[in-house]
């Protein structure tokens, strides 16, 4: 049987099965997403992998799918389990245990039944939550994790009073990162992206959306999507890619708006979709970026290519992008600091999620997005870090929860839902992640905390002690 190395060393094709590096190696051996496959061959029921660090490993092929109900991992002694089941609350269960079989949850049971509810597989791991809080793995629905360089100098300019739009229109901002990203190699970008995923993981994020948008050429944007795919193959965090070719006008098209919009709609979108490089298409609808009419043209092409839609809308000015997102059935409208009452009404009657990014509002000194008005109108609200080099250089999703509770008028329960089940639903993954229930992925976080409200209450502190992804412990810290 032939074995082919794919995705710049992120995966192998074995017969009809495609296996990612993170499916083959334990999380402790992935080197934070920095390891790659250089060669592979089949031997009996295992693979020989030649890796980028010069080592070779014989690894077993993943077991065939089975209906056996054997516990491979149990999390017990849970003080508070947040299942996110039901409407409005956090699905709180006291003194529980979570029983997992390989990648999925088998059952949630009383702690006293943890070791007897189902038969134990050989080598079943039992993880002690030590009376802490256990939640679903956190889901970040808006990140920009692949870019070159950094922009601390611009941070200083903002601290001195310069606005984001002033810096952007003077050739800084996104265009500064574009220059650095174009100059970076594929491996440099993949390592940087992996490092950003590791930072997210440290706070309890097990799944995130990740955008391109910092090259703004046809081949360059496709390259960034390939970086996202490779980084996701090689890192415990699951990464879902979004094409953001319409981030801003590149300098070489500054006087040729029509030509660039045509490049994105006519070439970039169809190729990214045809090559299976992304699930979504995004655009930045803002003064100095793209108009609603230009965005609609790009989004129509994305819909024709089978991509979902996400939109940067109403960050600084009300361009009525939110209404466009709703009209086109977008999965999300993101930012919304300057959203109007009519747009909130439109969102309330739609399936479009409002993804709020309080870190960006804080860094850019914008008004806080109107979370309370959105929620009171019945709009589903998710929270994201907006991790990016210019306007929100943070990987702390719990900090976004704190800001939501302290500044946006959200309750603790709403903030928890916004980073779990609502965020998962905005990515079309609500039937897989974001809750703790039988049959869903075994993505869990153990927080060293006495109460679920303790997490947003202790803002900027990290209480994530153990992170479990697809039934495997991928991060573990010693208790203080």
For position 207, what pLDDT does the model report?
A: 98
Average pLDDT over residues 28-34: 90
Mean pLDDT across 319-348 = 98
pTM for this structure? 0.97
Q: How confident is the model at residue 28 (pLDDT cuts 50, 70, 90)?
A: confident
pLDDT at 139: 99
Question: Which residues neighbour 361 within 8 Å (Cβ) at sequence distance 6 or greater?
Answer: 337, 367, 368, 369
Phi, psi of 342 (to 5 degrees): -65, -35
Query: For the residues 285-299, what does the mean pLDDT come to?
Result: 97
Calculated CA dihedral for residues 420, 425, 427, 429, nearest 10 degrees: 90
Report the 3 state secondary structure along 13-52.
Answer: EECCEEEEHHHHCCHHHCHHHCCCEEEEEEECCEEEEEEC
Four-residue CA torsion sign, 106, 111, 114, 117 = negative
What's the pLDDT at 154? 87
- Are 217 and 253 contacting, i.e. CB atoms less than 8 angstroms apart? no
Q: Tokens 């290519």 appear where?
A: 305
The predicted model gives 103-132 an average pLDDT of 97
Tokens (6 digits) for 226: 């390939």
- Check if the beta carbon of residue 37 is closer than 8 Å to that of residue 20: no
Distance between CA 476 and CA 75 in Å, rounded? 13
User: What value does the mean pLDDT take over residues 36-51?
Assistant: 92
Q: What number is the average pLDDT over the span 271-294?
A: 97
For residue 266, give both structure tokens. Answer: 């006519």
* Mean pLDDT computed over 463-471: 98
Helix (H, G, I), strand (E, B) or coil at 268: helix
Give the confidence band of 201 by pLDDT, cuts at 50, 70, 90: very high
pLDDT per residue over 86-103, tens digit each? 888 999 999 999 999 999
* Average predicted confidence (pLDDT) for the chain: 95
- Domain segments of the chain: what residues? 3-60, 70-137+434-476, 138-426
- Give the C-alpha separation, 189 to 429, whole Å: 27
* Mean pLDDT of the 205-223 span: 98
What pLDDT digit, counting tens, does each position of 124-160 carry?
Answer: 999 999 999 999 999 999 999 999 999 998 888 888 8
Burial of 53 (0-12, 13-18, 19+ CB in 10 A): exposed
Q: Residue 222 has what pLDDT?
A: 98
DSSP 267: I
pLDDT confidence tier of residue 216, bands split at 50, 70 and 90? very high
* Residue with more model confidence, 288 or 230: 230
**Tens-place pLDDT, residues 166-178:** 887 777 788 899 9
Q: For residue 356, is pLDDT > 80?
A: yes
Tokens at 32, concatenated: 């934070």
Dihedral sign of CA atoms 340, 308, 227, 23 in order: positive
The pLDDT, as a whole number, for residue 161 is 87
Whether residue 368 is predicted with pLDDT greater than 80 in this model: the reply is yes
Answer CATH for 138-426 from 3.20.20.140, 1.10.3720.10, 3.40.220.10, 3.30.230.30: 3.20.20.140
For residue 324, count CB atoms less than 10 angstroms from its CB and return exposed for 0-12, middle for 13-18, buried for 19 or more: buried
Q: What's 265's DSSP letter? A: I
Mean pLDDT, rounded, for 261-277: 98
Cβ neighbourhood burial of 455 (10 Å; 0-12, 13-18, 19+): buried
Please tell me the CATH code under which domain 70-137+434-476 is placed.
2.30.40.10
DSSP E strands, 111-148: 119-128, 133-136, 138-140
Pairing between β-strand 56-60 and β-strand 17-20 as defined by DSSP bridges: unpaired
Rg of the chain taking only CA atoms, in angstroms: 22
């Amino acid at each position: 049987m032939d074995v082919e190395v794919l995705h710049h060393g992120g995966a192998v094709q074995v017969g009809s099965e495609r296996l990612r590096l993170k499916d083959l190696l334990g999380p402790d051996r992935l080197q934070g997403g920095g390891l790659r496959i250089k060669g592979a061959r089949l031997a009996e029921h295992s693979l020989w992998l030649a890796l980028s660090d010069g080592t070779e490993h014989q690894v077993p092929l993943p077991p065939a799918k089975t209906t056996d109900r054997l516990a491979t991992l149990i999390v017990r002694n849970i003080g508070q389990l947040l299942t996110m089941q039901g409407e409005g609350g956090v699905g709180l269960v006291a003194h529980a245990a979570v029983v997992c079989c390989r990648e999925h949850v088998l059952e949630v049971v009383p702690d006293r039944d943890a070791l007897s509810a189902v038969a134990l597989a050989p080598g079943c791991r039992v993880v002690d939550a030590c009376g802490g809080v256990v939640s679903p793995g956190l889901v970040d629905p808006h990140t920009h994790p692949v870019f070159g360089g950094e922009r601390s100098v611009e941070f200083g300019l903002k601290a001195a009073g310069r606005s984001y739009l002033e810096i952007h229109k003077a050739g800084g901002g996104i265009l500064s990162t574009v220059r650095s990203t174009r100059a970076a190699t594929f491996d440099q970008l993949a390592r940087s992206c992996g490092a950003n995923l590791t930072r997210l993981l440290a706070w309890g994020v097990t799944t995130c959306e990740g955008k391109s948008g910092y090259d703004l050429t046809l081949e360059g944007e496709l390259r960034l999507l390939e970086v996202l795919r490779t980084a996701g193959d090689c890192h415990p965090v699951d990464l879902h890619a979004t094409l953001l070719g319409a981030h801003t006008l590149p300098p070489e098209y500054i006087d040729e708006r029509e030509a660039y919009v045509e490049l994105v709609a006519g070439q970039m979108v169809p190729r990214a979709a045809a090559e299976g490089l992304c699930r979504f298409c995004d655009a930045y609808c803002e003064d100095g970026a793209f108009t609603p009419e230009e965005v609609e043209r790009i989004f129509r092409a994305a819909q024709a290519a089978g991509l979902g839609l996400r939109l940067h809308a109403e960050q600084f000015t009300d361009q009525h992008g939110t209404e466009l997102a709703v009209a086109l059935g977008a999965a999300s409208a993101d930012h919304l600091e300057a959203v109007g009452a009519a747009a909130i009404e439109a969102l309330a009657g739609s399936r479009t999620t409002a993804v709020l990014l309080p870190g960006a509002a804080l860094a850019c000194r914008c008004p806080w997005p109107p979370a309370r008005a959105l929620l009171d109108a019945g709009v589903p609200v998710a929270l994201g870090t907006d991790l990016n080099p210019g306007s929100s250089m943070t990987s702390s999703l719990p900090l976004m929860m704190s800001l939501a509770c302290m500044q946006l008028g959200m309750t603790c329960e709403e903030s928890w839902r916004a980073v779990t089940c609502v965020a998962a639903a905005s990515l079309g993954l609500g039937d897989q992640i974001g809750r703790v229930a039988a049959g869903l992925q075994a993505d869990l976080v153990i927080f060293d905390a006495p109460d679920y409200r303790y997490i947003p209450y202790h803002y900027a502190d990290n209480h994530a002690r153990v992170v479990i992804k697809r039934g495997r412990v991928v991060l573990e810290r010693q208790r203080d």
